[in-house]
């Protein structure tokens, strides 16, 4: 079906899924939350601290899959509160540099481990 992508630079899956799957030149990165891969715990701090950890985790998986940041074509950002949009948006933009993939941002009622932000990605070679 597809090649499972895994790296110790991002947290292990907390359910029956993979960090990412590569299939047919595309890589589908599962939603990343603010878990420190070393401790396995959600990082302390506000939405900014969580967003930084999320982007670190996401980009570690993208790299482990052999992709460059510029090959990220689509992301979805899930926010506990749309009030956090500007903060998360700024951290997201900083992490991706000049690259601007297609994206959706939605507010949700709850996220795994009660985090404030989750982001997934699709990369294409």
Taking 70 as the pLDDT cut, the residues of the chain under it are none
pLDDT in tens, 69-89: 999 999 999 999 999 999 999
Tell me which H or E stretch contains 116: none
Q: How far apart are CA 9 and CA 84, in angstroms?
A: 26
Per-residue pLDDT, 1: 73
Let me know if domain 3-124 sits in CATH 3.30.1330.40.
yes
Beta sheet of 102-107, edge-to-edge order: 3-5, 20-23, 26-32, 117-124, 72-79, 102-107
The two three-digit tokens of residue 110, written as one number: 């709850």
């Amino acid at each position: 079906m597809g090649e499972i992508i895994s790296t110790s630079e991002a947290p292990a899956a907390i359910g029956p899924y993979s960090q990412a799957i590569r299939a047919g030149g595309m890589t589908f990165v599962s939603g990343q939350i603010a878990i420190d891969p070393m401790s396995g715990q959600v990082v302390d701090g506000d939405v900014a601290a969580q967003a930084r950890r999320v982007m670190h985790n996401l980009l570690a998986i993208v790299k482990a899959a052999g992709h460059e940041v510029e090959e990220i074509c689509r992301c979805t950002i899930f926010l506990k509160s749309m009030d956090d949009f500007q903060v998360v948006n700024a951290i997201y933009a900083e992490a991706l540099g000049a690259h601007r993939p297609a994206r959706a941002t939605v507010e949700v009622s709850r996220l795994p481990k009660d985090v404030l932000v989750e982001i997934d990605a699709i990369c294409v070679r």
